[in-house]
Structure 1
Amino acid sequence: QDKLRDELRPKSGLLRVREFMMKDLYSFHANQTDLDNYYEVVAKAYGKIFKKCGIGSVTYRTLASGGSFSKYSDEFQTITGAGEDLIYICKKCGIGINKEIKNENLKCPKCNNSEFEEKKAVEVGNIFKMGTRFSLPFDLKFTDRDGHDKLVLMGCYGIGLGRLMGAIVESSYDQKGIIWPKSVAPFLVHLLQFDNTPKVKKAAQKLYKDCQKEDITILYDDRENKTAGDKFNDADLIGIPYRIVISEKTLKENSVEIKERSKEKAKLVKITQLQKFFKNVKKN
């Protein structure tokens, strides 16, 4: 859902804004054991989400202040030089601790280690055990099997979608532009058409339609008022995972030029082998 925040100094693109979208989840439980178990289920699910988004290796479950809810809450912090938070990563087990709760004598609550590595990070998600913080004032109760009225225990879980996108970009780019992970890229293929001859246009349009038939999302750059250099630069800036070039030169080889955004070198692939190539791309 969309949320608003009275942010005095919006900055860093999507990392700190006044209006943003959150993936929110609330859970309701009969006892502490049930809350604790479900809390861990969500924590693992969040870890899988961040891994699928391409930032799993640089995102750490991080202990933070629980505020008025509990002793601790858990944040998911992504390491990036653009981050505003300071976290300390346990060198033994990899759990993070937010600077706001770390002191000189603090040991890792998971493994009792006292050696940490300081990193700048941005918070992309958080989870809280709210307990009876809201069920008590609202008198939110349920009747248990023995007929007794008891307060509901609650959990709260959220991922900032815009901030997640910003964190992905800050973690995956080079001097030319963004390098989108395939799982979150707006398109899988960026098709560049060079040489505006009927032969090239026909081949490019056929490839575009073939991709659509294979359910491969594709951005087709058929602009006639742009140079090859302009199109290459724009493709690198946008950062779609696979760039395909069709030109008179490639068609002489009955091929197209394919380059992964994350790699330096391009390669020629025979047009007759494209279907096999696309199947492999979709699998991976």
Structure 2
Amino acid sequence: MTDFTIADSTRFLTVPGGRIAFEVCGGGPLVVLVPGMGELRSSYRHLAPLLVRAGYRVVLVDLRGHGDSDADFPEYGDTATARDLIALVRHLGEPATIVGNSMGAGAAVIAASEHPELVEGLVLVGPFVRNAPTNPVMTLLFRVMTASAWVVPVWRAYMPKLYAGDKPTDFQAYRDSVTAAMRRPGHARAFSRTTRTDHGPAERCLGSVDAPALVIMGELDPDFPDPKAEADDVARALAAPVVMVPNAGHYPHAQQPESTASAIVGFLGGGRHRA
């Protein structure tokens, strides 16, 4: 794996309610990498250098209440994250391809639907872009488990399951960094609030996205009963191709960065830029 330091050049963008942290590396067409709930921007530590090497200006961003971003926002979730992404792209001064993982994919879909002039393409990785059917008992249990008082040890224990398949060689160190970030003042509460996000707005936006899209899914993604079927359903809504990544769970960009980068670079180089 290529060593890639995330923390040395942190920048901040002030948006309504607080600041979001981001980092810029490389040069070329703009690609914004958005992590999923509970993850840090360093989730892309192995993918980002491969995209930089391929000739792209890569931006990694922390979600509200995650990593180096502020944790006292009045609102969290897909819609709020979409607003942050649009503000960030405007700040960076050119349209972007947005690579969104998990709920970051839902935010990317909303951003592309509402501001097509700023989103040239979408790469949705393990995408949560619609609400799954819910069991009231399981919903209540999830809310109890993700209460801020004990969400840090609960998430730490749950992380290995989400990384089903091959784990990054530095997984334990990364897991420690996630835990440390959640223990910052206010961050456990912010994460707990993020777990309540509604993917309905993203689902309603799927039919109005004009940007070219690519769906990437880990074959072992434990968040979906049938990962291939979920990927196919999302792809149909966007007229997008699907890439299934072997030996990967919910984070193929971290677990299988080379094959994920190959799929993304192929998409980026396949004429997805508007004239």
TM-score (norm 2): 0.23
Q: Which has the higher contact order (CA 8 A, sep 6+)?
A: 2
Structure richer in helix, relative to its length:
2
**If the length of structure 1 is used for normalisation, what is the TM-score?**
0.23
Greater Rg over alpha carbons, structure: 1
